[in-house]
């Protein structure tokens, strides 16, 4: 009987230790591994589908998560620049949207996210989904895909940057 109690106690202790050591949050070897893991739950839209959506007059929120130094050198008409590092703070900030000339979007509205190549917007999409935004898509291939597919359909605002030449991207993919 003493051996059974000791064995049962040891079993319970090992079970508790193994459950506590489980990493439920996930760790990744690098950012590419994280982007790949996160992208499983993301819906993508092609440049052609996005262009058709714009042309049809559909109402949706087009958010470019690149840094301003990247955004102002070329962006899709109608997009709003909310850098990836500020997205969670600005997405539900009514003052931000009013300053942009828009109403605060509802969480059930459609959002299309853009970055340079797609990685930052995948992470951004996951982040705002975790904040309760349900209808979120990512432009597959990002700004680079748009720029190659529609080289004449974009806007610039170099005056916002003082008219300087293009600078290197601020980070991310």
Helix/strand/coil for 30 = coil
Q: Give the DSSP per-residue string, 38-84.
A: HGGG-EEE-HHHHHHHHHHT---EEEE-S-HHHHTTSB-TT-EE--T
| Domain residue extents for the chain | 25-161
Residues 6+ apart with CB under 8 A from 85: none
List pLDDT tens digits, range 126-159: 999 999 999 999 999 999 999 999 988 888 877 7
Q: In the numeric block, which tokens belong to residue 97?
A: 């949207």
- CATH of range 25-161; options 3.30.1330.60, 3.40.190.10, 3.40.250.10, 1.10.1040.10: 3.40.250.10
Interval 22-51 mean pLDDT: 87
Spatial CA neighbour of 45 closest among 158, 131, 145: 145
The predicted model gives 68-86 an average pLDDT of: 94
Residue 115 φ/ψ, nearest 5 degrees: -140, -160
| pTM, full prediction | 0.78
Mean pLDDT of 91-106: 95
Q: Which residues are catalytic?
A: 115
């Amino acid at each position: 009987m003493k051996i059974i109690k000791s064995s049962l106690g040891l079993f319970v202790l090992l079970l508790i230790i193994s459950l506590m050591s489980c990493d439920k949050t996930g760790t990744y070897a690098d950012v590419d591994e994280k982007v790949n893991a996160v992208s499983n739950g993301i819906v993508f839209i092609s440049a052609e589908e996005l262009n058709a959506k714009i042309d049809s007059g559909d109402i949706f929120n087009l958010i470019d998560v690149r840094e301003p130094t990247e955004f102002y050198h070329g962006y899709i008409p109608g997009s709003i620049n909310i850098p990836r590092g500020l997205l969670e703070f600005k997405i539900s900030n009514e003052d931000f949207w009013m300053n942009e000339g828009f109403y605060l979007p509802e969480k059930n509205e459609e959002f299309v996210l853009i970055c340079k190549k797609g990685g930052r917007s995948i992470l951004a999409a996951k982040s705002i989904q975790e904040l309760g935004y349900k209808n979120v898509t990512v432009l597959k291939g990002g700004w680079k895909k748009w720029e190659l597919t529609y080289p004449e359909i974009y806007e610039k605002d170099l005056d916002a940057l003082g008219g300087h030449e293009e600078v290197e991207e601020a980070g991310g993919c």
